């Protein structure tokens, strides 16, 4: 018999929260939100770079509720130690650069796949109640190794629910597009190139889904509060052509086309064709249900299935960012 869902209001003020990759672009904004907005009881930053942790601490992240753990998600024992008495885990650590993952494929697998398994195992062994992993549109019909490793990681987190038995741990994922202003984003690159009068784009027809770090963090927080376990959450995002972005940021500059890099797509998708039949519209987001018998009864009872021909591809998505909207996003990210 399937389990019934009973939703209980989520109180962050008595929760201990751990964020892997906590010194990254997302991690820093997420930690700040946990401290200032959700007012979590304790927040643990888990990352492998002592310098970034030091810079974060002296840069204003010195709240008494904060703990800094040096560790690598490749080390399951260290994760288990860090997750002692933790209630919520947000898994943001990953190797994310497409070109770097193509050149270092084993390293990408060790971190993005094996590391994700370690997070799952440590959370199960430690009795963590909710674990949410960050994914990417590149996991949909992947064309590069980075996307392939994130697809595997998604599958691991969704299926991780099958291992919990009667335990408290539940797993889910969020999947979204390009983050304006994050490390490795094209926005800082364009800002740097603007000083020299020429911006480089890979292909003038390229399109992408966009959101800000603040939007991403708010989305993650809301999904943690609502998750039943097994969902892949997808926000409703707008798209923009890469040349429109370049012209918006530097209308006075020349644009040089340099060609698509290995493993790069012309357009990105947030939903695969196979997932459409399992996708629900829940108002401000989409929920991809798992196709497995442990999905609980009563999960998302007010949701509406998407149409059979529904798709989320960046070049055909109906909602486009205006120049003003995008520039406002860039200003907020600065």
Q: What are phi and psi of 166, to 5 degrees?
A: -90, 10
Q: What is the pLDDT along the chain (334 residues), one digit of tens a residue?
A: 455 555 667 899 999 999 999 999 999 999 999 999 999 999 999 999 999 999 999 999 999 999 999 999 999 999 999 999 999 999 999 999 988 999 999 999 999 999 999 999 999 999 999 999 999 999 999 999 999 999 999 999 999 999 988 899 999 999 999 888 677 678 888 888 998 899 999 899 999 999 999 999 999 999 999 999 999 999 999 999 998 888 888 889 999 999 988 788 999 999 999 999 999 999 999 999 998 877 776 788 889 999 999 999 999 988 998 888 888 888 777 6
Structural domains of the chain in order of their starting residue, each with its CATH number: 12-177+210-236+269-312 (3.40.50.720)
Nearest in space to 20 (alpha carbons), one of 135, 153, 116: 116
Give the per-residue pLDDT at 1: 45
Q: Give the integer Cα–Cα distance in Å for 142 and 137.
A: 9
pTM higher than 0.85: yes
Q: What phi, psi does 117 have (nearest 5°)?
A: -60, -40
163-202 burial string, b = 16+ CB within 10 Å, else e? ebeeeebbbbbbbbbbbbbbeebbbeebbebeeeeebebe
Residues, the chain: 334
Question: Could you confirm whether 256 is annotated as catalytic?
Answer: no
Q: Give, in order, the Cα–Cα distances in Å from 150 to each of 65, 131, 137, 184, 229.
A: 31, 16, 9, 17, 18
What gap in Å lies between CA 274 and CA 150, rounded to an integer? 17
Among the options 42, 138, 150, 238, which is catalytic?
A: 138
CA distance 18 to 131: 9
SS (H, E, C) 62-85: CCCCEEEEECCCCCHHHHHHHCCC
At residue 309, φ and ψ (nearest 5 deg) are -100, 15
pLDDT, residue 6, reads: 56
| DSSP code string of 110-125 | IIIIIHHHHHHHHHHH
Report which of 116, 119, 81 is spatially closest to residue 95, judged by C-alpha positions. 116
Q: Specify burial of residue 230 (Cβ count, 10 A radius: 0-12, 13-18, 19+).
A: buried
Cα gap 183→164, rounded to integer Å = 35
Query: Can you name the residues that pair with 134 across neighbouring β-strands?
Result: 174
pLDDT at 334: 65
Helix, strand, or coil here: 91?
strand
- What pLDDT is stored for residue 2 in this prediction? 53
């Amino acid at each position: 018999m399937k389990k019934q869902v009973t939703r209980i209001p989520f109180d962050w003020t008595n929760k201990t929260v751990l964020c892997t990759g906590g010194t990254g672009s997302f991690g820093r904004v997420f930690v700040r939100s946990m401290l200032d907005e959700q007012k979590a009881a304790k927040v643990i930053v888990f990352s492998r770079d002592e310098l970034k942790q030091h810079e974060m601490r002296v840069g204003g992240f010195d709240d008494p509720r904060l703990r800094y753990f040096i560790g690598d998600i490749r080390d399951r024992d260290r994760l288990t130690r860090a997750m002692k008495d933790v209630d919520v885990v947000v898994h943001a650590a990953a190797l994310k650069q497409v070109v770097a993952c193509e050149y270092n494929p084993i390293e990408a697998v060790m971190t993005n796949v094996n590391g994700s398994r370690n997070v799952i195992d440590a959370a199960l062994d430690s009795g963590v109640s909710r674990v949410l992993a960050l994914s990417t549109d590149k996991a949909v019909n992947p064309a590069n190794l980075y996307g392939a490793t994130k697809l595997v990681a998604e599958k691991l987190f969704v299926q991780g629910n099958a291992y919990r038995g009667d335990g408290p741990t539940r797993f889910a994922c969020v999947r979204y597009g390009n983050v304006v202003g994050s490390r490795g984003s094209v926005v800082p690159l364009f800002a740097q190139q603007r000083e020299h009068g020429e911006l480089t784009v890979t292909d003038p027809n390229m399109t992408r889904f966009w959101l800000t770090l603040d939007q991403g963090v708010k989305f993650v927080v809301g999904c943690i509060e609502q998750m039943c376990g097994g969902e892949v959450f997808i926000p409703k995002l707008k798209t923009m052509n890469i040349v429109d972005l370049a012209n918006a940021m530097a209308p006075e500059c020349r644009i040089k086309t340099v060609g698509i890099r290995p493993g790069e797509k012309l357009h990105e998708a947030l939903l695969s064709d196979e997932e459409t039949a399992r996708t629900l519209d829940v108002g401000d987001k989409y929920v991809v249900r798992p196709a497995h018998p442990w999905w609980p009864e009563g999960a998302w009872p007010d949701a509406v299935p998407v149409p059979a021909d529904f798709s989320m591809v960046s070049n055909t998505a109906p909602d486009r960012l205006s120049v003003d909207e995008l520039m406002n996003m860039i200003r907020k990210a600065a």
